[in-house]
């Protein structure tokens, strides 16, 4: 009888100790409403703060210089194209200049119409597959 009482007592003691522990393991105060596993398992490996490797100052300054050179080249090219267009227009006779202006207006109008049609067709296709 003594052993039976001792076993029941130990069983009750173990249950009273383990039940609150298991209950706490299931509910965490840090759980996110979006991801409940985050509170249980902590941060994922992919979210650790990765430090970026810094490049040497010489590499950084060389990249900056290269960027400046590219920007200057683009600017010079645009100016060259503009000069070429202006010269091509200026050497023409007045009749040809007037025709060139009309052609430019027509081309601009055509481009606007194309863009408008493309946008409308894209909108229709979006509604079709939505």
Please give the average per-residue pLDDT across 68-73, as a whole number. 98
Rg (CA), the chain: 38
Q: How far apart are CA 52 and CA 63, in angstroms?
A: 17
User: pTM (2 decimals)?
Assistant: 0.43
pLDDT at 102: 97
Question: How far, in Å, CA of 55 to CA of 48, rounded?
Answer: 21
- For residues 70 and 64, what is the distance between their CA atoms, to the nearest angstrom? 10
Side-chain-side CA neighbours of residue 71 (13 Å): 6
Q: Is pLDDT at 60 greater than 60 in this prediction?
A: yes
């Amino acid at each position: 009888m003594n052993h039976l009482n001792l076993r029941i007592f130990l069983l009750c003691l173990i249950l009273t100790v383990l039940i609150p522990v298991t209950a706490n393991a299931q509910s965490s105060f840090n759980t996110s409403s979006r991801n409940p596993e985050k509170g249980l398992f902590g941060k994922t490996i992919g979210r650790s703060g990765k430090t970026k490797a810094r490049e040497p100052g010489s590499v950084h300054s060389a990249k900056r210089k290269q960027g400046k050179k590219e920007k200057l080249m683009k600017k010079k090219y645009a100016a060259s194209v503009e000069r070429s267009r202006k010269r091509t227009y200026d050497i023409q006779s007045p009749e040809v200049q007037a025709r060139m202006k009309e052609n430019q207006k027509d081309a601009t109008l055509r481009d606007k119409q194309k863009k408008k049609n493309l946008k409308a067709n894209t909108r229709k296709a979006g509604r079709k597959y939505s």
